[in-house]
């Protein structure tokens, strides 16, 4: 009986070789795919970073522009406030220049018969008035007239009143008169109404 001997070593070696080649091919393919994925991820990430940087630069530029506009607005507002302050100062000076006229007009109307003013002095908004009257009742009438709501003086207050003998003259005999001193507050009109103010209505005189 003849026995046929078959050598399987070359076949097994070829199979192992094919397996090694397939393994190496798989490893290479995995490395290649991984590299492509990394490259794609890097590209996408770089693009996202670039876009975000562009947005950041745009926002920074807009913020800088907005800061400039805010400074311009603040400067314009300061200029407007300065102009208003100058306008108010001019109108206030105009009003102050007219106050003595209003004051003497009021005193002319408010001083009742039998009252003679000897001194008028203004210290800021305070007006000091000195004079003599035929009686204390005339002084009371004067105070009441000065306190009328539509006049240029307010808050009249009697500081001092005393009786004294008026010396005789060619026309009048010696008599007792009331010497008084009072103060009142001068109303100041608003700058917008520098030409206007309390109406100078004539009070009832005693």
Q: Are 180 and 130 in contact (CB under 8 A)?
A: yes
Half-sphere exposure of 177 (CA within 13 A, CB side): 18
Can you give the pTM of this predicted structure?
A: 0.46
pLDDT at 167: 66
Residue with the two structure tokens 């539509």: 150
Shared-domain flag, residues 85 and 119: no
Shared-domain flag, residues 69 and 120: no
Residue 3 within a domain: no
Shared-domain flag, residues 93 and 142: no
H-type alpha helices, the chain: 9-110, 136-146
pLDDT at 204 over 50: no
- Burial of 145: CB neighbours in 10 Å, binned 0-12, 13-18, 19+: buried
Angle (CA) 69-71-74 rounded to 5° is 110
Q: How do residues 101-149 score in pLDDT, each as one tens digit?
A: 778 888 888 888 889 888 988 887 888 999 999 888 999 998 989 888 8
pLDDT at 194 over 50: no
Shared-domain flag, residues 118 and 92: no
Residue with the two structure tokens 């007009």: 105
Q: How do residues 64-114 score in pLDDT, each as one tens digit?
A: 888 888 988 888 888 888 888 787 766 666 656 667 777 888 888 888 888
Residue 206 within a domain: no
- 49, 75, 101 - which closes a domain: 101
Shared-domain flag, residues 180 and 116: yes
Structural domain including 53 reads 10-101
Shared-domain flag, residues 15 and 91: yes
Shared-domain flag, residues 89 and 127: no
Q: What is the CATH number of the domain that holds 166?
A: 3.30.1360
Shared-domain flag, residues 15 and 93: yes
* End-to-end CA, the chain: 172
Shared-domain flag, residues 83 and 146: no
pLDDT at 49: 92
Q: How many domains does the chain contain in total?
A: 2
Shared-domain flag, residues 16 and 81: yes
pLDDT at 17: 82
pLDDT at 161 over 50: yes
Residue 50 within a domain: yes
- 101, 127, 142 - which closes a domain: 101
Round the average pLDDT of the chain to a whole number and report it: 79
Shared-domain flag, residues 123 and 95: no
Residue 197 within a domain: no
Shared-domain flag, residues 17 and 78: yes
Q: Among 74-78, 118-122, 181-185, 198-202, which stretch is predicted with the lowest mean pLDDT?
A: 198-202
């Amino acid at each position: 009986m003849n026995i046929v001997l078959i050598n399987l070593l070359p076949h097994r070696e070829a199979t192992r070789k094919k397996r090694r080649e397939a393994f190496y091919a798989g490893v290479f393919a995995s490395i290649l795919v991984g590299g492509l994925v990394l490259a794609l991820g890097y590209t996408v990430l770089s693009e996202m970073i670039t876009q975000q940087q562009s947005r950041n630069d745009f926002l920074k530029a807009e913020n800088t522009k907005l800061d400039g506009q805010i400074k311009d607005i603040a400067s314009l507002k300061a200029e407007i406030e300065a102009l208003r302050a100058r306008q108010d100062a001019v109108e206030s000076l105009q009003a102050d220049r007219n106050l003595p006229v209003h004051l003497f007009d009021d005193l002319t109307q408010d001083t009742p018969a039998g009252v003679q003013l000897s001194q008028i002095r203004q210290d800021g908004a305070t007006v000091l008035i000195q004079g003599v009257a035929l009686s204390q009742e005339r002084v009371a009438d004067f105070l009441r007239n000065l306190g009328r709501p539509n006049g240029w003086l307010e808050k009249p207050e009697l500081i001092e009143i005393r009786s004294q003998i008026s010396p005789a003259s060619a026309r009048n005999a010696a008599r007792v008169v009331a010497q008084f001193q009072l103060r009142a507050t001068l109303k100041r009109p608003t700058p917008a109404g520098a030409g206007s103010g309390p109406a100078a209505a004539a009070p009832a005189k005693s």
